[in-house]
Structure 1
Amino acid sequence: MRMDNQYAQFDWAGTLVTPAPLRSPRLLLLNRDLADELGMALSEAQWRDMTAGLQLVTGMQPFAQVYAGHQFGGFSPQLGDGRAMLLAEVIAPDNQRWDLHLKGAGKTPYSRFGDGRAVLRSSLREYLASEAMHHLGIATTRALALVGSQEPVYREQVESGAGLLRAAHSHLRFGHFEFFYYSGQPECIPTLLNYLIDTQWPDLTKDATGYASLFARVVEKTATLIAQWQLVGFCHGVLNTDNMSMLGLTLDYGPYGFLDAYNPDHICNHSDHTGRYAYDQQPAVGYWNLQRLAQALSGVIEMDALQQALGGYEQRLMTAYSEGMRQKLGLLQWQDEDPALFRDMFALMKAQQVDYTCWFRRLAELTPSAAIPTELLTLVNDVEAWQPWFVRYQARLAQENRTQADKAAQMNAVNPKYILRNHLAQQAIDQAEQGDMAEADTLLRLLANPFDEQPEFNAYAMPAPDWASDLEISCSS
């Protein structure tokens, strides 16, 4: 295993720390495929001890990063890795760089009033979600290993402590640059940008021109990411600037959720009392966060370049979203009436609380001329209200001049059959807290191939049961 711990050499960017070991840890999950990709040939005992903070691999330099962030619209001047730390930067066999980031490793100088611990509930939620998103083809951090313990951690109630080891090409956030901008240390910002260029985008120059291109790249990646979230019905829940990745990764899974019944106003975070981070607000919040990043970079990038890059956000997002939505509906060619077709469909879905994932998956069986499939009709409660839309959609499909098999294959390649619904994650958590990881293993297997027909898992592809609407997910999740 090759390591190149460049970030830990920036003593002004954080603090070298020592993990606080979890007592009597037990290895619960290990992502062997990702471990092989990283070239990390460790024994299960080594994975357990590293993820529990008991014994690190020689060469690791645990480092807690400092950053700031706009949280629910208000600025917090100093945040940082309060319950996590960067263990090492690993160079994989393909020469790709990966951060190893350990969550739940104990207090750091940035823990504020926290205990620095993670609980099994939230750690398993992140493990499941990050792997689900990866297999959906959406940029994300990855989960490497999860350990549990009997060590008590105090949240709303006493829970069992856990450690989560995750990996990403970088964990740099918008908030890193905000910290140095607002704390009066602007000289640090070019160093961080140069680090990002050296390690991720060596095609860029380390000057004002290169920095402007870097920001434009961040804008594009953020727009693309949020378009993908909207297409799959994913709600992040806490889109603070300290949870926004410079690489356009889905970062810091907390009170996330996938839509069950379609509701554009859906709030997945019980702590979000104003709906700032509701599903339909995510595109606007992404732009607002990019404006905050632009302000932090205004000392090294000309304002015209910042504004030009920001000006491309909406077009990039809408292009990615509209192209994705056409694919979800099995349409190849753009037609002027398509936006109205989409809007009217969503209005009906909202009014009748149609399951988002099941709707698009089952829509693949609809042909330009045959009767509406029964499986599709079971998702709606007023078939008559849908009839005019079905007539328009079937007429639109007829204009495509393609076979039903080709159309269905295209739709099934972008419309997942299986997603990580909240009630499925909760069932896995409930069992894990009793020492049984079987349900978590099952979810990971089926979510590794979310677009494939897996008849043995058909029960996981049904709309959520009524009791699922009572689940409350908050920032502590």
Structure 2
Amino acid sequence: MPIDPQAYRPETAILDLGDGFYDPVAAADFPQTRLRFRNDSAAAEVGLATLSDDEWVAHFGRFIPLPGTLPQPLALRYHGHQFRQYNPELGDGRGFTFAQLRDRNRRLMDLGTKGSGQTPWSRFGDGRLTLKGGVREVLASEMLEALGVPTSRSFSLIETGEALERGDEPSPTRSAVLVRLSHGHIRVGTFQRLGYLRDEDGLRALTRYVLHHLYGEDGDDPVRLLDLVVRRTATLAARYMAAGFVHGVLNSDNINVTGESFDYGPWRFAPTWDPGIVAAYFDHAGLYAFGRQPEAIHWDAMQLAVALRQISDAEPLIAALDRFPDHYQRAVTAAILWRLGRAPRDHEHDRALVQAVERALRGTGVPIERFFFDVFATDLPAGYGPEWDDVRAALPGYAPRKPRDHAFWSGDSCAMLIDEVEEIWSAIDRDDDWSPFHQKIARVRQMGQALAD
């Protein structure tokens, strides 16, 4: 098999945790495997870009083990709060961890699935993924990566030839299996399960695993772990806001302890800076609305602290949690400056500019993507009214962080609003036309290159 020997670094670190953390499972035997998307950029980082399409399908559609890593897929065990209600009957119900690899930066990465079949945690589910759900996840993760949000990367999407029945969309509908490349699959809910079981030895072992393999530190200090997770999750919340992104389901089992976003179901990109926009039709109370995401993620971090309380004194955990708002404010200031194409100046002026931007976006209803496209590394163009005077006055005091010379800027702004997503899916569903899907990914990646440092 043509694996790149210089870049392919297999791992089996998760096996060190022991079988109390996962269940060995087998992938579903799909009627067909039609490759629809392969992320060669991500694959190059873990030495797999040289696979042929047939080899790719064998590993990521039929799940033949990759050499040197996990001999069998593992469905991970976890609990979690779902819309603030505790659920001890969770776990990987339609996915598993398939392989572990080191990327070019020596980070431990997991290849995990969605739609790969039933597991002991499937309950009444069929363990499958709709093709539309897979298409939406690819689009979400590509857009988030381009906008600087720490995210899992959609690695592979393979259509699997089953007709699925779903109660919340037209059925029967086409099926798929998705593979994600993630910096670990350990969730807040993974710790919550051990806390629920009062498994102190397990909590210490998992703390050691996360600190060593995901943060590059030794020891099993729960306070240090919580401090790191608070910093990373505060940054995640800030990047969501700067991207105008609404995840939709920020349950504690959907929060990765590396602060990396993942699992894109009912997501939306907000067209305007409206704090009340929700993504999930079932979020009737707006618990995970656009403007409440920092609060929601902070609450999830609190649940990690509750679990770690079994192996730590309360006071230092509370102190670490109390630093979340300050971390968030600094991170959202940095994230919005990044989108503005401006180099930081000083905290006082930076914060004032960001607050002015937020006020004007909220008050005027100017499209988020349009505004950031217009103002990147330039003064505010004509057409923005007096509501933008504070922004207009502040911008000249900032140096551009990079020139506006990329080919992306010669076109139009690039959004990922729900109507366009539905149009992309309609072309696939109606005519099996994948060209709008691939064209959109190409444009999004061009934007990412234009924005990148």
Instruction: Tell me the TM-score range normalised by the shorter chain.
Output: 0.7 to 0.9
Q: Which residue of 2 aligns with 1:153?
A: 164
- The answer to whether residue 236 in structure 2 is matched with residue 225 in structure 1 is yes
Letter in 1 for 2:368: Y
Work out which of the residue numbers 277, 280, 284 in structure 1 matches 2:288: 277
Please report the TM-score for the alignment, with normalisation by the length of structure 2. 0.87
Cα distance in 1, alignment partners of residues 315 and 336 from structure 2: 33
> CA 1:161/1:299 → structure 2, altered by over 3 Å: closer, same or farther?
same
Residue 360 of structure 1: which of 355, 372, 392 is its match? 372
Correspondence 1:159-308 to 2 at 5 A = 159-206=173-220, 210-308=221-319
Matched to 1:394, the amino acid is R
Q: Distance in 2 between matches of 1:24 and 1:407?
A: 48
TM-score (norm 1): 0.83
Check 1:304–1:408 CA distance in 2 against 1; reply closer, same or farther (3 A cut). Answer: same
Q: In structure 2, give the amino acid aligned to 1:4.
A: E
Q: 1:28 aligns with which of 31, 36, 52?
A: 36
Partner amino acid, structure 2, of 1:167? L
Aligned to 1:373: 381
Whichever residue aligns with residue 12 of structure 1, its letter is: G
Aligned to 1:468: none
* Aligned counterpart, 1:72: 83
The alignment status of 1:446 with 2:443, answered yes or no, reads yes
Deviation at 1:32, TM superposition (A): 1.2
Give the letter aligned to residue 51 of structure 1. F
Q: Quick one: distance in 2 between partners of 1:177 and 1:446?
A: 39
Q: Deviations over 1:60-83 (max 9, x none)?
A: 320101100000010001201000
Using the TM superposition, give the Cα deviation of residue 213 of structure 1 relative to its aligned residue in structure 2, in angstroms. 1.2
Q: Distance in 2 between matches of 1:452 and 1:100?
A: 25
Give 1:137's aligned residue. Answer: 148
Secondary structure at the counterpart of residue 89 of structure 1: strand
Q: 1:410 to 1:286 in 2, by over 3 A?
A: farther
State yes or no: 1:431 paired with 2:432: no
* Change in CA separation of 1:411 and 1:302 when aligned onto 2, cut-off 3 Å: farther
**Residues 401-430 of structure 1: CA deviation (Å, up to 9, x unaligned):** 86xxx4884899xx9942432223222222
Equivalent residue, structure 1, for 2:61: 52
Structure having the higher Rg:
1
The one of 326, 333, 339 equivalent to 1:315 is 326
Aligned partners of 1:123 and 1:332: how far apart in 2?
Answer: 37
Match of 1:3 among 2, 10, 26: 10
Question: Could you tell me how far apart the structure 2 residues matched to 1:3 and 1:338 are?
Answer: 43
Q: Residue 118 in 1 paired to residue 126 in 2?
A: no
Q: How far apart, CA to CA, are the structure 2 residues paired with 1:164 and 1:397?
A: 43
Does the CA-based 8 Å contact 2:66-2:99 persist in structure 1? no
- In structure 2, the partner of 1:467 is none
Query: Does structure 2 retain, via aligned residues, the 8 Å contact 1:49–1:56?
Result: no
| Cα deviation, residue 262, structure 1 | 2.4
AA matched with 2:11: D
Deviation per CA, 1:243-290, whole angstroms, max 9, x where unpaired? 001100001111111111221111121111110000010011111111
Against the structure 1 CA distance between its residues 326 and 166, is the aligned structure 2 distance closer, same or farther, given a 3 Å change threshold? closer
Per the alignment, do residues 168 and 364 of structure 1 end up closer, same or farther by CA in structure 2, a change over 3 Å counting? closer
Structure 1 stretches lacking a partner, 5+ long:
378-382, 455-477
| Residue of structure 1 in register with 2:47 after alignment | 39
Q: Residue by residue, what CA displacement relative to the aligned partner does 1:364-397 show, whole Å, maximum 9, x if unpaired?
A: 4864xxxx735xx2xxxxx7xx32x344433334
Q: In structure 2, what is the equivalent of residue 471 of structure 1?
A: none
Judged with a 3 Å threshold, the aligned counterparts in structure 2 of structure 1 residues 250 and 81 are, in CA distance, closer, same or farther, namely same
Shift, 1:104, TM fit: 0.8
Partner AA of 2:439 in structure 1: T
How far did 1:452 drift? 6.0
- Measured in 2, the distance between the counterparts of 1:335 and 1:90 equals 39
Residue 355 of structure 1 aligns with an amino acid whose one-letter code is P
Mapped contact 2:377–2:404 kept (Cα < 8 A): no
- Asked whether 1:393 is paired with 2:391, we answer yes
Residue 21 (structure 1) shift: 1.8
Offset at 1:29? Answer: 0.6
- Number of aligned residues: 432
Contact residue 223 and residue 286 of structure 1 kept, 8 A: yes
Identity fraction in percent:
27
**Deviation of the 1:5 alpha carbon:** 2.3
How far did 1:301 drift? 2.3
The alignment partner of 2:112 has SS state of strand
Contact 2:38 2:157 in 1 (8 A): yes
Match of 2:51, SS?
A: coil
Rounded to whole Å, the distance in 2 between the matches of 1:35 and 1:401 is 38
Q: Summarize the Cα distance change of 1:365–1:450 in structure 2 as closer, same or farther, 3 Å threshold.
A: closer
Task: Name the CA shift for 1:390/1:94 in 2 (closer, same or farther; >3 Å).
Answer: closer
Q: Does structure 1 retain, via aligned residues, the 8 Å contact 2:146–2:449?
A: no
Amino acid at match of 1:313: F
Point out where structure 2 has 5 or more consecutive residues left out of the alignment: 1-7
